[in-house]
Amino acid sequence: MDRLSDEAAGTDGPMRYLLHRDVDGNLDGVANFRLPWSPLPEHAGTLVVEALQASIPDAYRAMWMLLTDFDLTQKIVAVPCWPVPAVSALTDSAR
């Protein structure tokens, strides 16, 4: 039987998607992530970000803010997400 799995057998968990839209409703960012289940305390609460792309720094920052705010998340594992906006672009708009 094919199905999504978050079972205690220890799986990668289903792929989940996060979309970010600008004020006009245009898509300007997308992320793919998983919340795998683990019986081991050292792996419990791990969020795995497999991809994150944004066309503007505000969308990039907003998606990371949401991903880092998931309840019971203790650790985030992410593959490099390119292109990464310059750090100054992320901090300038937050001022």
pLDDT of 46 reads: 87
pLDDT in tens, the chain (95 residues): 344 444 444 467 888 999 999 999 999 999 999 988 777 777 788 888 989 999 999 999 999 999 999 888 888 888 775 555 544 444 455 44
In this prediction the pTM is 0.68
Question: Is position 35 within any domain?
Answer: yes
Question: Is position 69 within any domain?
Answer: yes
- For 47, the domain range is 16-82
Question: Is position 76 within any domain?
Answer: yes
Numbers of helices and strands, H then E, in the chain: 2, 4
Q: Is 76 left (phi over 0), alpha (psi -120 to 50) or beta?
A: beta
Number of structural domains (the chain) is 1
> In 3D, which of 79, 87, 88, 90 has the Cα closest to residue 31?
79
Question: Is position 36 within any domain?
Answer: yes
Question: Is position 8 within any domain?
Answer: no
pLDDT of 77 reads: 86
pLDDT of 64 reads: 93
Question: What tokens appear for 30 in the block?
Answer: 């997308």
* Beta-ladder partners of 75: 46
Question: Is position 22 within any domain?
Answer: yes
